[in-house]
Amino acid sequence: MALISLDSEQIKSNKDLEDTELKLFINSILSPQLNVNRKFNLVTGFLVLLAIISLSSRISNSILILQSDLVIGGLILICMGLTLIGLRGHTFNSIIGLLTTLMGFEIIYANLEVSVMVAGLLAGVTLALAMIGSYLLLAPTMEES
């Protein structure tokens, strides 16, 4: 019987914890500074999405080999990667933006070219960019020898 009451008390304390986490989350959403940043990011994302929808049909019609769903997916990755590079100035965000842009290009280009050498070259470029990014992130913390 004591174990059951202990479990119910733990459940009540977990609910209180969840309630406070929920309140903190709601307060962070309603804070004015974060609200402005989120509104700007939403508007930017919406404008990019409109540009992608308008461009994807033109690209799919001009190059008949390309499938429209792959073009839309690739353009979303390219544009969101470029947006991430443009809006954020940190090294990590820049590397993630470059990798995202490269992945979008690979999606579109893989539909055009089925060569294994090209796929290997693109994979090598991706790995090199990831290694350079990891070095740039770790370089400030390395000890001088």
Structure tokens at 67: 């499938």
pLDDT computed for residue 103 by the predictor = 94
Indicate if the pLDDT at residue 126 is higher than 90.
Answer: yes
Residue 77's pLDDT is what? 93
Position 21 scores a pLDDT of 63
Range 62-66 average pLDDT? 79
Domain boundaries, the chain: 16-140
Q: Are 79 and 97 in contact (CB under 8 A)?
A: no
Q: Are 71 and 82 within 8 A, CB to CB?
A: no
pLDDT of residue 35: 66
Q: Which percentage of the chain shows pLDDT scores above 90?
A: 25
pTM above 0.75, yes or no: no
Residue 59 near residue 66, CB atoms below 8 Å? yes
Coil, strand or helix at 65: coil
